[in-house]
Amino acid sequence: MENIIRTLRAEQGWSQAALAEQLDVSRQSVNAIETGKYDPSLPLAFAIARLFGKSIEEVFQDPAAPVSKAAE
Amino acid sequence: MAHQLGFNAAKKRYQRLYWPAVAAYVAICLGGAVIVNKDTSPVWLTATFSVLTAAPLVFMMWLMLRHSEETDEYTRLRQLKAFARSACITLSAIWVVGSFQLWDVVPGVNVFWFGPFFLLVYGLNYCADNLFGKTV
């Protein structure tokens, strides 16, 4: 699953450690999610989206999802 | 099953008990080396120190499992994967060495050493996940 967490984090000026602290996960967790090595559970995905004031769909994108006509 | 506390709280709870357990293990090992003589000490004394030596190690294994249950989901996934892999490798090693012993190919091997072997393989597996490959 692709995501824009790295971009959102950079906009806030947060380090991976700072984001990890706020989510109460390890820094390695944040790195793994950002690099696509690990897909978070729904509760964690909701917590990430909530932290950035966005919806889950805005933060995480399903690469297998069909491209909508509007996007085309 | 213990409920999830989050990475920081779980780490604190783990370390609060881990270091005293290590200190107890070292103290018991040193005490045993001074007090127990394999050739002259009575069986009850050597047996007592055997149990005392193993107790902190057993406690630390329980501590590892409790930490896995309480920490964040990604850390838990990595720990349990490493635990499963190292258990498979250690059991395989036990069966191979055990088969050798069964057919008297190798003389007695101290079972004790499979414990440190397990922890070594666990540590290597845990680090390997950090360095290679996609987790999920």
CA distances from B29 to A45, B39, B58, B114 (A): 47, 17, 15, 18
**A41-52: per-residue pLDDT in tens?**
999 999 999 999
Residue spans of the domains in chain B: they are: 1-71, 72-136
pTM listed for this prediction: 0.82
Pairing of strands A2-3, A60-61: antiparallel
Spell out the domains of chain A, with CATH numbers in brackets: 1-57 (1.10.260.40)
Query: How far is the alpha carbon of A24 from chain B, nearest alpha carbon, in Å?
Result: 5
A38–B133: do the CB atoms touch at under 8 Å? no
Per-residue b or e along A9-24, where b marks 16 or more CB atoms closer than 10 Å to that residue's CB: beeeebebeebbeebb
Question: What's the rounded Cα separation, in Å, for the pair A7 and A44?
Answer: 18
Of the candidates A21, A36, A38, the beta carbon closest to that of B74 is on: A38
Q: Are A19 and A32 in contact (CB under 8 A)?
A: no
- pLDDT level of residue B107 (50, 70, 90 thresholds): confident
Q: For B63-92, what is the mean pLDDT?
A: 95
pLDDT for position B2: 62
